[in-house]
Structure formats: C-alpha cells, structure tokens
C-alpha cells in the first residue's frame, strides 16, 4: 500500500458532484466520471439489454450472421435495366428512394426533386406539375431501395429504365443492385432534375449502360472484395473516397471495352465519363456491401445491424434478428466542412443508403485507411485511426478481407452489435457528403456523422421480445 499513498492522489468521482467538494477544497485532483446509464437511461430498455447481453441464443445467432457476412463473395456479374432486375417494377409504376420508408409530404427537398426528375425521365409526365400530381394521386409507388435488394447514394432514386449494377453473392446466389453514379455537379441524386440532368440519364441508359454490359460480359465476372481491399491500401475508404477503386476498376474495364467491338466514339465518351468521376466506384462499393449484409440478414435472435440508411429526415436501421423491421429516429447533424458560400443552415439532413458501407465495416469504420478523407471532412489522421479503433468496441469482430495499413494491417471492425452500441454508448461513425436542403443545388460539404442512439435502443427492446417466453425482461 505504501507507494500508493506516497504519490499525489488522483481521485475519480463516480457519484454526485457534491462528493468531490471536500477533496477539491483540500487541493485534491478530482476527475468526474463521464458516465451515462446504458440504453439512454430507459429502465425497460436497460432490462431488455441486460436480457440480451451474453445470452447464448444471441451469441450463437451473431456468430452465424457474422460468419455469413464474412464469407460473402460479391461479384459484379451484369448490367441491366432496373425493371429487368427488380420484378416489382414490371407490375406497377415504382420508384425507389434511399433510407427507411417515408411518405411524399414528409420527404426532403432533394428526394422530392429527384423523384420528379425520375418521373420525367420515365416519360410518365410531361412537366413538374403533372409529375407531382401523379404522385399525389397515388399513381406512383415510392418505396425504399432496401425493400428491393437495392441501394442508392443520397436521394437514391432508381426508376425502371435506369441501368443498375448487378452484384451476386457467389456464396448464396443472392443478388444486390445499385444505380450508376452520375458524377458531381447538377445530378439527380442531389435532387436536380433539369434538362442537363435528364439528358445525362438518357445517355447513361442508351450508351453507357450497354457499353458496360458488354465490358462486364467480356470480363466474365469481377470480384469486388479484393478490389475494395486493394483500394483500402491506396487511401480509399470506399465510401466518400473512391479514387483508387475507380482507377482499379478502369484498369479492368479498358481492355474489356477495347475488345467489345463498340464504335470509337462510344469508347471515347464512356471513358471520358468514367475517368472524369473519382466517385464512379461508389455505387459498386455500396451494392457489394449490400450483398454482404443481406447475407447476414434474418438470423433469429441476432443483434447484428444489417442496414443503416437515411431518407433525409430519419435514420433507420435493421437488425438481423428482427428481419425487415425498421428502427428509426431523426438523423443526427453532420459535423463537417462546408464549401465556400454554404453553411449548416443550408444543409439537408443526413441522406442516402451509402451508410451500408459503414454497416459492412468500411467507410467511416475504415477511416484509418484514408487520412485524406479525414482532412477533407475537417479532422486529422490521428482522428482517423481513433475512429477505426473506437468502432472495434461496438463490433462483433474484424473482417480479415479488409485490412488497414495505418493500424499495422489490422482487420476493419465489422458487424455492428446493437447491444454494444446501446451498452457502451458509442455510436457508429459515418462519413458522408452534405446535400443542400433545396432540390438540385447539389453537394455543399462533407463530414462525419453518427447513427442516432434511439434506433439502437428501440431495436434492442424489439429483439428482446423475440426471446423465448420468460427470458425477456
């Protein structure tokens, strides 16, 4: 005991602030404990959490779900129209959007603008007013991409004639889809819907997609996990930064395109479009992540998060053990840097399906691989490695397919465990672009945000109710 009392005392006060007063008056060094009760202090949720923690059914289910996620082999196998890929689109006028379900009147500006644009693009209406009337009359169904094995960045709009990437998980044969990336500037995903935007979408459908379909056929199949893994060693986190991954994709596409018998002018336009857009790979990354997470879905009792997505108003998550149910809460603010002339008052709420990358252990979870992104969103490389390390505390394990050079090639933290999020009060970190709240203005910044805690607390309570009778709290 002697050495303890020979050094100056450092006291941690875990009780009421008043407990520390006497010590402070005696010049003592007192640090108040930064502690909040788990599950946001909600007593029922706390009991639900206690029922789930270390529960053998949950532990076993998580092992199965995590193993299915790890063993997924997402492969680019085809390019199709959305209507070919998504059968529901063959039966009714259906437009998909990002995030959890939301009704037209509640949607944010960029999503409404993008839906109007998609209706014009499909030729279902001749002008904006007619397009909006169609929606208000209930003649167009609006549903989440995630309800149809699909994902889309920002507004995430997918309409029947748009081309989609077709990703197949070779382990279970299931497919996932995403739209094509339009580049920066005035684009549908930020709610722009003028002639420039619609003409680009028509060109993508008529020239880009058929060319890429031929190239993919030429390639046979393209395994996406090794490509993403390589990009993680080249400064990408394959969410907000895809410069290396796009380059690696281009290296694979060029020889295939050059042997595809396409006219030279087509090749020129296709390659100019792809080489001019460092985000081109993003939608492939998202669809690959969707395929990995769908593999882990629907394992009863599993507390593994399989979806995180934003519709510009609410943030929604799904757990493996609660199937298709969404747990939603208002989206947290984005902390980041704004482009000159814009500020926080101009920003739409957090938006897009792209948080599927964080759900799959890349993006913000792999930030240590992408110091340049941290600088872009206003942090330091040390923040990046700290974020990647912190995510280990809320994850089921590491993904050895995705390693981080800056952490001595440690695997990325992967498989978010909703129990750990609620218990440890550490929120999943998400890299994101910031959209202007008005349709069509476009990206006005980038930053880091978190998934909101109520989603996880509600999900925990719902999962606890699925436990065999008498076991839930």
C-beta closer to a second copy: residue 36 or 261 = 261
C-beta closer to a second copy: residue 73 or 412 = 412
Min dist CB 423 to a second copy, Å, is 32
Instruction: Give yes or no for a contact between 428 and 448, defined as CB atoms under 8 angstroms apart.
Output: no
Q: Within 10 A of 372 (CB to CB), how many other CB atoms are there?
A: 14
Min dist CB 398 to a second copy, Å, is 17
Torsion of CA 459, 96, 287, 84, to 10 degrees: 130
**Closest to 118 measured CA to CA, from 152, 146, 84, 87:** 152
Alpha-carbon distance of 37 to 422, in angstroms, equals 10
Instruction: Give yes or no for a contact between 360 and 289, defined as CB atoms under 8 angstroms apart.
Output: yes
Min dist CB 295 to a second copy, Å, is 28
Binding site for a second copy (CB under 8 A): 233-235, 243-244, 247-248, 250-252, 254-255, 258-259, 264, 267-268, 271-272, 275, 371-372, 375, 380-382, 405-406, 408-409
Q: Name residue 435's beta-bridge partners.
A: 443
C-beta closer to a second copy: residue 183 or 381 = 381
Min dist CB 308 to a second copy, Å, is 27
Min dist CB 233 to a second copy, Å, is 5
C-beta closer to a second copy: residue 70 or 274 = 274
C-beta closer to a second copy: residue 80 or 254 = 254
Min dist CB 237 to a second copy, Å, is 12
Pair type for strands 314-319 and 163-169: unpaired
Torsion of CA 15, 21, 27, 28, to 10 degrees: -10
C-beta closer to a second copy: residue 147 or 252 = 252
Pair type for strands 74-81 and 141-144: unpaired
201 three-class SS: helix
Handedness of CA 165, 180, 82, 260 (dihedral sign): negative
Q: Within 10 A of 255 (CB to CB), how many other CB atoms are there?
A: 12
Alpha-carbon distance of 349 to 313, in angstroms, equals 6
Min dist CB 383 to a second copy, Å, is 10
C-beta closer to a second copy: residue 94 or 282 = 282
Min dist CB 408 to a second copy, Å, is 5
Order across the sheet with 175-179: list the strands. Answer: 150-151, 175-179, 163-169, 74-81, 222-223
Structure-token pair, residue 116? 């109007």
C-beta closer to a second copy: residue 368 or 455 = 368
C-beta closer to a second copy: residue 183 or 235 = 235
**Closest to 129 measured CA to CA, from 110, 112, 116:** 116
Structure-token pair, residue 107? 């949607």
Instruction: Give yes or no for a contact between 242 and 231, defined as CB atoms under 8 angstroms apart.
Output: yes
Min dist CB 56 to a second copy, Å, is 39
């Amino acid at each position: 005991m002697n050495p303890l009392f020979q050094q100056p005392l450092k006291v941690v006060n875990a009780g009421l602030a008043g407990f520390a007063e006497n010590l402070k008056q005696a010049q003592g060094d007192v640090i108040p404990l930064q502690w909040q009760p788990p599950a946001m202090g909600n007593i029922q949720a706390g009991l639900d959490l206690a029922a789930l923690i270390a529960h053998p059914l949950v532990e076993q289910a998580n092992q199965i779900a995590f193993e299915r996620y790890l063993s997924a082999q997402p492969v680019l196998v085809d390019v199709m129209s959305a209507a070919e890929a998504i059968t529901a689109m063959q039966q009714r006028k259906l437009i998909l959007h990002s995030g959890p379900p939301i009704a037209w009147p509640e949607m944010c500006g960029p999503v409404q603008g993008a839906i109007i644009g998609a209706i014009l693009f499909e030729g279902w209406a001749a002008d904006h007013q007619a397009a909006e009337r169609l929606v208000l009359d209930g003649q167009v169904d609006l549903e989440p991409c995630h309800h149809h094995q699909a994902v889309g960045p920002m507004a995430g709009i997918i309409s029947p004639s748009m081309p989609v990437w077709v990703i197949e998980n070779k382990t279970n044969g299931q497919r996932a889809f995403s739209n094509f990336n339009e580049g920066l500037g005035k684009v549908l995903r930020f709610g722009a819907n003028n002639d420039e935007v619609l003409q680009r979408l028509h060109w993508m459908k008529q020239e880009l997609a058929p060319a890429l379909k031929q190239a993919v056929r030429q390639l046979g199949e393209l395994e996406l996990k090794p490509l993403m893994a390589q990009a993680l060693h080249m400064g990408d986190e394959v969410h907000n930064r895809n410069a290396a991954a796009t380059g690696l994709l281009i290296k694979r596409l060029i020889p295939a395109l050059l042997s595809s018998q396409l006219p030279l002018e087509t090749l020129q336009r296709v390659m100019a479009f792809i080489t001019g857009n460092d985000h081109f790979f993003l939608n492939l990354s998202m669809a690959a992540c969707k395929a990995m997470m769908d593999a882990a879905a629907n394992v009863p009792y599993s507390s593994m998060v399989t979806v995180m997505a934003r519709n510009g108003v609410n943030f929604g998550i799904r757990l493996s053990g609660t199937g298709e149910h969404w747990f939603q809460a208002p989206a947290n603010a984005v902390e980041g840097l704004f482009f000159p002339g814009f500020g926080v008052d101009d920003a739409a709420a957090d938006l897009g399906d792209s948080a599927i990358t964080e759900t799959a252990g890349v993006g913000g979870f792999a930030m240590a691989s992408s110091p340049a992104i941290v600088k872009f969103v206003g942090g330091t490389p040390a923040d990046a490695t700290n974020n990647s390390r912190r995510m280990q505390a809320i994850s089921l394990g590491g993904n050895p397919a995705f390693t981080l050079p800056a952490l001595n090639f440690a695997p990325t933290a992967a498989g978010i465990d909703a129990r750990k999020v609620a218990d440890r009060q550490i929120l999943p970190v998400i890299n994101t672009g910031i959209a202007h709240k008005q349709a069509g203005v476009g990206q006005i910044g980038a930053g880091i945000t978190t998934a909101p805690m109520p989603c996880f607390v509600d999900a925990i309570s719902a999962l606890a109710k699925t436990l065999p009778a008498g076991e839930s709290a």
